[in-house]
Amino acid sequence: MKSLLAFIRKEMLEQRRSGKLIILGILFIVLGIMSPAIAKLTPWLMEMMAGSLAGSGLIFTSVSVTAMDSWVQFFKNMPIGLIAFVLIESSIFTREYQTGTLLLSLTKGLERHKVVAAKTVILVILWTICYWLCAGITCGYTAFFWDNAMVQHLLFSVTCWWVFGLFAVALMVLFSTMAGSNTGVLAGTGSVVLVSYLLSFFSGLKKFMPTTLMDGTSMIYGMSQPGACTVPLIIAAVMIPVCLAAGVSIFNRKQL
Amino acid sequence: MEMLQIAGLHKRFGDKEVLKGLNLTVPEHSIFGFIGRNGAGKTTTMKTILGLLKADAGEILVNGEKAVYGQTATNRYIGYLPDVPEFYSFMTAREYLGFCGEITGMTKKEYRERSEELLELVGLNGEKHRIKGYSRGMKQRLGIAQALLNRPKLLICDEPTSALDPVGRKEILDLLLAVREQTTVLFSTHILSDVERICTDIALLNEGKVDIQGKLSEIRTQYRRDEYLVETDNEEGMHGLQKAFPDIRQTGQNQLVFSEKDYAPGEVFRFVADRAVPVVKIERVEPTLESLFVEVVEK
């Protein structure tokens, strides 16, 4: 346990001193502010464009913006946040393989599964803090300008998106134990998400796909019910430990 | 007592057989020079001892305990310094040693004291900067400090001096010599002068097998050919000797070598004394590691 904590502390120090923590912090704060900001600015933007659009036959009377628009924007922004998160953290394992820094720790008797555990813990903590910070900021501004009460299943849909992020983290860990460079990690994680996304276009498969968890917009409009997320949530809850266990098993046999 | 015993070690990478039944015995408290050409299999052997590579066949005993691939429990006896040690460059030397102490399960008090001791030993105690800015020599010295942190019984160094300048090399060799009291040192190298300087025992690795192994002094005696070298001050002296002893061989400018089998040394020395041949030196020829190495490699 002591060695695991030591490795987690080392990871945290690395995140801090390499500047990744600050970059992630700024990014998610900006995303959090952007969602209500864009919603707030929409009428003004429309007004600006009204003149030129009138020429093409489009006429704006009045544009009313609600809390819904702010949250729709939030769910549009989140994929950017997750992609940036995966990009920034994709080398969390592979950089250690490439530089050979793990060699000294492992030859000192650090158990291999603790390396996977420590890095997973750090990724989960970072994702959780970044995501909820972003969601919290959006929630605060939205409540200030409008009223969150009209948004249906808000907490549930936001939580579903967070679970999807955890699923992506588990995929990152799994592919990190397989790949030698971060390109492999990005390709692996990206393809699983893409395949899941493409398969969800088939209505029969959609209810099984974890990517359904990203569809917060339909839920806040009440177009889909929380029940639609039950199966994807269960699948994600099963897949996350499976990916991590497979990752540990692969990492135990990895030649470094 | 033997600190490390390797028997019949085989390792193959694809169709290239790197180790072909390697046998090696490292006695306790020796400084063991593991000599071989580049690509002879030195690093492969060391990584297999540390459980970083899986052996195809053979057995490795560290301090009498079997070393296995993957979770290698015998690593608790070993301190390892790779050829190019890589540290977390965002840490300072003290932080890094602290991290190493924590993952090996030392208490805070233990690793703090030991870190100070070792940083002083390797001359990094005044260093406050992060490892990022360290020179190769400094990294190598920090490498020795981290390897010695938990007082290992066996210190394995992979070519610790090959990338260093003469000053850095001397520092590392002096360090290895200094830690001999505390531990057994196994280090690989192809720099023979380093071996002659500090090693008590050697093994010559050639084509995946150990060809010669033992105490350096015994190997020297064993391979001594009972030859003497006479170097004269001028050519006349040399010609005089060549005339008197036809079987004497010229090996360099004014340098002659004769074997005890051909002439009794006393006879030659008497000739030199009687004729007052001006000599620079007369010495018994010691087999150099280089000659031994070349002999083994070319066999």
Domains of chain B listed by start with CATH number: 2-222 (3.40.50.300), 227-298 (3.30.70)
Name which of A2, A8, A98, A107 to mutate to probe chain B: the one with the most chain B Cβ atoms within 10 A of its Cβ. Answer: A107
As beta bridge partners, residue B6 has B24, B60
Write out chain A residues lying below 8 Å of B49, CB-based: none
The DSSP result for A187-231, as a single string, is: HHHHHHHHHHHHHTTSHHHHTT-GGGGG-HHHHHTTSS-GGGGHH
d(CA B277, CA B237): 5
pLDDT band, very low/low/confident/very high, at A248 (cuts 50, 70, 90)? very high
Cβ proximity of B119 and B97 under 8 Å: yes
Report whether pLDDT(A244) > 70.
Answer: yes
Burial class for B90, CB neighbours closer than 10 Å (0-12, 13-18, 19+): middle
Is there a contact between A108 and B73 if contact means CB atoms under 8 Å apart? Answer: no
Average pLDDT (A196-203) is: 89
> Cβ–Cβ contacts within 10 Å for residue A66, how many?
15
Q: Looking at residue A90, what is its pLDDT?
A: 96
Q: What single letter denotes the amino acid at residue A105?
A: S
Mean pLDDT, all residues of chain B: 89
Q: What single letter denotes the amino acid at residue A53?
A: L
Which of A6, A13, A14 lies closest to B102 in CB terms?
A6
Q: Looking at residue B227, what is its pLDDT?
A: 85
Q: Which domain holds residue A118?
A: 2-253
Write out chain A residues lying below 8 Å of B91, CB-based: 10, 13
pLDDT band, very low/low/confident/very high, at B161 (cuts 50, 70, 90)? confident
Average pLDDT (B131-157) is: 92
Q: Which two tokens stand for residue B229?
A: 């070298």
Search chain A and give the residue with CA nearest B87: A101
Identify the CA nearest to A244 among candidates A166, A150, A140, A171. Answer: A171
Question: SS3 for B202?
Answer: strand
Search chain A and give the residue with CA nearest B143: A104
Q: Looking at residue B299, what is its pLDDT?
A: 66
Residues of A with CB under 8 A from a CB of B: 2-3, 5-7, 9-10, 13-14, 17-18, 99-101, 103-112, 252-253, 255-256
> A172 or B216: whose pLDDT is higher?
A172
CA atoms within 13 A on the CB side of B83: 12
Residue with tokens 């070519």: B159
Q: What is the pLDDT of residues B35-64, one digit of tens each?
A: 988 888 999 999 999 988 889 999 999 999
pLDDT band, very low/low/confident/very high, at B226 (cuts 50, 70, 90)? confident
Q: What is the pLDDT of residues A71-127, one digit of tens each?
A: 999 999 999 999 999 999 999 999 999 998 998 998 888 889 999 999 999 999 999
Write out chain A residues lying below 8 Å of B95, CB-based: 13
For residue B200, is it left (φ>0), alpha (ψ between -120 and 50) or beta?
Answer: alpha
Residue B204, CA distances (Å) to A228, B28, B196 in order: 70, 19, 13
Write out chain B residues lying below 8 Å of A106, CB-based: 52, 75
In this prediction, what percent of chain A has a pLDDT beyond 90? 69
Identify the CA nearest to B204 among candidates B218, B193, B189, B217. Answer: B189
Q: Looking at residue A203, what is its pLDDT?
A: 81
Write phi, then psi, for B24 (nearest 5 degrees): -155, 135
Average pLDDT (A198-220) is: 88
Report whether pLDDT(B86) > 70.
Answer: yes
Q: What is the pLDDT of residues B3-30, one digit of tens each?
A: 999 999 999 998 999 999 999 999 999 9
Is there a contact between A108 and B50 if contact means CB atoms under 8 Å apart? Answer: no
The DSSP result for B226-273, as a single string, is: -EEEEEESSHHHHHHHHHH-TT-EEEETTEEEEETTTS-HHHHHHHHH
Is there a contact between A252 and B146 if contact means CB atoms under 8 Å apart? Answer: no
Is there a contact between B105 and A3 if contact means CB atoms under 8 Å apart? Answer: yes
Q: What is the pLDDT of residues A173-198, one digit of tens each?
A: 999 999 999 999 999 999 999 999 99
> Cβ–Cβ contacts within 10 Å for residue B63, how many?
19
Write out chain B residues lying below 8 Å of A109, CB-based: 72-73, 75-76, 103-105
Write out chain A residues lying below 8 Å of B84, CB-based: 100
Q: How many folded domains does chain A comprise? A: 1
Q: Looking at residue A48, what is its pLDDT?
A: 81
- Number of A to B CB contacts under 8 A, please give it: 74
Search chain B and give the residue with CA nearest A251: B70
pTM, full prediction: 0.83
d(CA B50, CA B54): 10
Instruction: Provide the terminal-to-terminal Cα distance of chain B, rounded to the nearest Å.
Output: 32
For residue A76, is it left (φ>0), alpha (ψ between -120 and 50) or beta?
Answer: alpha
Q: What single letter denotes the amino acid at residue B18?
A: V
Which of B52, B99, B146 lies closest to A256 in CB terms?
B52
Report whether pLDDT(B247) > 80.
Answer: yes
Cβ proximity of B185 and B32 under 8 Å: yes
> B281 or B287: whose pLDDT is higher?
B281
